[in-house]
Structure 1
């Protein structure tokens, strides 16, 4: 039963990573879930960049698709447009712009566009982390 898994250490590591991620997701607060979405999108973009550089078209497309899905179905769809007002509207437009850059980067194998999108997403993620840190510092102990 265990022998086939032990002969393939890469498979065991992936299974362990999948379980670890599932555990993190199941125990995460809503704010932590957003952080996990940023991490997932970033990881997909790192893979997309590696596949783009290596000329691996199919894998590149999969990685871009995963990042776009996380941004669109995860980050953008989690915005509360009513409560967030202008900020949510601006973030939604920025996510759309990031997605547009990613689609063109994939279509044209354009490393510059990918890096622009990565920087934009990293800036939003950094702002999110700073906001969480600010909130944590104002919470009573």
Structure 2
């Protein structure tokens, strides 16, 4: 059964428990929310690492991984997205690997690396915005 990318993104966003309403958000805004949630989870995981709060770090790492895997990567449309979708998938896969390694090694620098890699993609996505005709 085919699930549209926007619905997959909305479901993933709800699943990871982000405190924001996705009801009524357009597909573009849903992706913005996913990027925001990912960045927040990465920042919270780094903070937990600095405090030595292993449980909180683990929770935030799992949130970040789910934003990437279920939301951003799950929302890619390889057929229509072509090379861009393939490149984004490769970036998301790399970020998933780095976050996993950061979790195992308790390495905040790896989390910062992922945040730095994702930031320009998130900013670009936000900048293009939905095209409104009126």
**Could you say which TM-score interval applies, normalised by the shorter chain?**
0.7 to 0.9
Q: 1:39 to 1:104 in 2, by over 3 A?
A: same
When the two chains are superposed, the root-mean-square deviation of aligned CA atoms in Å is 1.7
Matched with 2:99 is 102
In the TM superposition, residue 20 of structure 1 has moved relative to its aligned partner by 6.5
TM-score by length of 1: 0.78
Q: Which has the higher contact order (CA 8 A, sep 6+)?
A: 2
Matched with 1:70 is 67
Aligned residue pairs, count = 118
Structure 2: runs of 5+ lacking an equivalent: 1-16
Matched with 2:12 is none
In the TM superposition, residue 103 of structure 1 has moved relative to its aligned partner by 0.6
- Structure with max Cα Rg: 1
Give the number of the structure whose residues are more often helix, by fraction.
1
Q: Distance in 2 between matches of 1:20 and 1:75?
A: 18
Structure 1: runs of 5+ lacking an equivalent: 1-17
